[in-house]
Structure 1
Amino acid sequence: MDVLFIDDKGQKRELEEDDILTILEMPSGSEDDISSDDSIAAPTVNIDTIVNNIEEYCPTDSESDNCNNETSHVSTVPAPDSLPHMPNLNDKSESSRKKLRRDHVTWKLRSFDFPVVKKIFKRNLHLPDEVYALETPFQFFKYMFTYGLLNHIAEQTILYSVEKDPTKPYNTNSKDLSKLIGIFILSSVMSSRNTRLFWNPAVGLSVKCDTMSVNEFEKLRQFLHFNDNSKEIPHDQPNCDKLHKICPVIESLKEQLSTIPLEENLAVDEQMCATKSRHHLKQYMPDKPHKWGYKIFMLCGISGFTYDFEIYTGQENLPAHRLQDEPDLGASSNVVVRLTRSILKHVGHTSYFDNYYTSLHLMTFLASQGILFLGTVRRNRIPDCTN
């Protein structure tokens, strides 16, 4: 079959060998017959020039200076003052591809100059004399579980036994409670399916038998109580306290922890208190070593000592639990706001936390309180952040 083509005069004729050579000698370029001149040096792109010409990000002179500072670590190939013409990315011709290869930006890594903050810690970290006198683990435990707390528990235990059976009140004291706590600690070391087996002469421990009989142990554990039930608000009421049963224990522990001066560097994070009990406050966190338990938010120092804590109940963000001068920054950031109440203002403390708590509003609040901070941040918590 003959190959025909239309010449310049619009006439159809057979394609000759000279016509084919003429077509092959045409300059290489795009299908639109647009030739490229390789002798002309292609312009290069300068990032500083682009940033200065984008008024959307730098509408004012001061903001333009800030943008220049942010991009000062970028080094580019020398470029003309005017913004160069960028080639069409959709153009797949050979000349356009060559032009794209020449139009490039060279990025170089340079150290970022952080502003120097002169930090002076002004607080005295001298421990109380009674803390210096502590030597054994038992003494440290008694420092936290005071005799006042044990006497309060003994009173509430007697009161609860009277509520159960007024004719047969159960009498106890702080000494019996100390024995009970010791048996609980020893039971955590030696596990058993049945508690009464600890008093079995064959498999039990003689120290438990000498401390307390099994019947006395069961009786004291039956009436053990920490707070007055008559003062408890029903759970269907909006202002109920889910931690009412152990509220005196929590308050006493916080009071003793507050006697220790806070370190310079502090951290806020959560911790799981593992348990196998069935309770509505039990949480599940798959990334923790103990996945099931009670979630506790803690304020700790670099030494690992806990200065304050908060048991998660879901009621912390209610307006009744917020001070008048405290803003509502969200459930996670409010944890940091509450735990930093005990930190003295404008003395040089630094708080650290992860991206679960960090937000721009939290940083603004801590800065107004004179507390330094450092934390990772999630991208979706930064307004107008798309990259």
Structure 2
Amino acid sequence: MFNPGPEVTVDERLLPFRGKCPFRQYIPSKPGKYGIKIWAACDAKNSYAWNLQIYTGKAASGIPEKNQGKRVVLDMTTGLQGHNITCDNFFTSFELGQELLRRKLTMVGTMKKNKPELPAERKEGQGSTFLKTAAELTYHSVHIISNTKSILAGILLSQPCLSTNQTSHSRNPIQAT
């Protein structure tokens, strides 16, 4: 049995398929557009897909699933401990980050800046700090620390619609360079 390395990614794949299938999906942003949607957990180092789940469409009731991204990540990472999970904004949420921490997993993921769970100062751009990396890129960030939680929400200023939610950093203060 394959054991993934410390870095794992969770994302969707579209296996191109034009035949008849009750759960064939249409995703206009994908190159194939029509196909079978597959959730995949991959080892980040070698891209080996070690856990796959076929998306079979909405439930028979026709009611859309709430928190589908969270459910998928939790399903795909069942049994893992000590790994870092990387995912995109479809999956990332504060609630997911906290649940992964309870399971001894960390998470790095992008978030849309209009997520209701981001603090007001993060949305408005007030009360935050500006940090520079070695490459002199400017970031806008908010570091939220409590007795039980430590979340870093950061944004590259050249990408104003993208934020990150990271639970895998230390609680030490971040130093501007």
TM-score (normalizing by structure 1): 0.28
Aligned to 2:87: 353
Asked if the contact 1:333–1:357 (Cα under 8 Å) also holds between the matched residues in 2, the reply is: yes
Aligned to 1:342: 79
Aligned to 1:293: 35
Q: Deviation digits for residues 291-342 of structure 1, max 9, x if unmatched?
A: 10010000001201011011001368x9xxxxxxxxx971122110110103
Aligned to 1:268: 10
What secondary structure is seen at the aligned counterpart in 2 of 1:341?
coil
Q: Does 1:333 align with 2:70?
A: yes
TM-score (normalizing by structure 2): 0.60
Identity %: 27
Q: Deviation digits for residues 216-271 of structure 1, max 9, x if unmatched?
A: xxxxxxxxxxxxxxxxxxxxxxxxxxxxxxxxxxxxxxxxxxx1111111000000
Aligned to 1:373: 107
Q: Deviation digits for residues 156-201 of structure 1, max 9, x if unmatched?
A: xxxxxxxxxxxxxxxxxxxxxxxxxxxxxxxxxxxxxxxxxxxxxx
What secondary structure is seen at the aligned counterpart in 1 of 2:91?
coil
Asked if the contact 1:359–1:382 (Cα under 8 Å) also holds between the matched residues in 2, the reply is: no
Count of equivalent residues: 116
Q: Which has the higher contact order (CA 8 A, sep 6+)?
A: 2
Q: Which structure features the higher share of helix residues?
A: 1
5 Å-filtered alignment, 1:151-190, equals none
Closer, same or farther in 2 for the Cα pair 1:372/1:274, shift >3 Å?
A: same
Q: Partner amino acid for 2:101?
A: A
Q: Does 1:314 align with 2:81?
A: no
Aligned to 1:283: 25
User: How many Å apart are 1:287 and its aligned residue?
Assistant: 1.3
Query: What RMSD, in angstroms, separates the aligned Cα atoms of the two structures?
Result: 2.1
Long gaps (5+) in structure 2: 125-177
Aligned to 2:153: none
Aligned to 1:217: none
Question: Highest Rg: 1 or 2?
Answer: 1
Q: Deviation digits for residues 54-87 of structure 1, max 9, x if unmatched?
A: xxxxxxxxxxxxxxxxxxxxxxxxxxxxxxxxxx
Q: Which structure features the higher share of strand residues?
A: 2
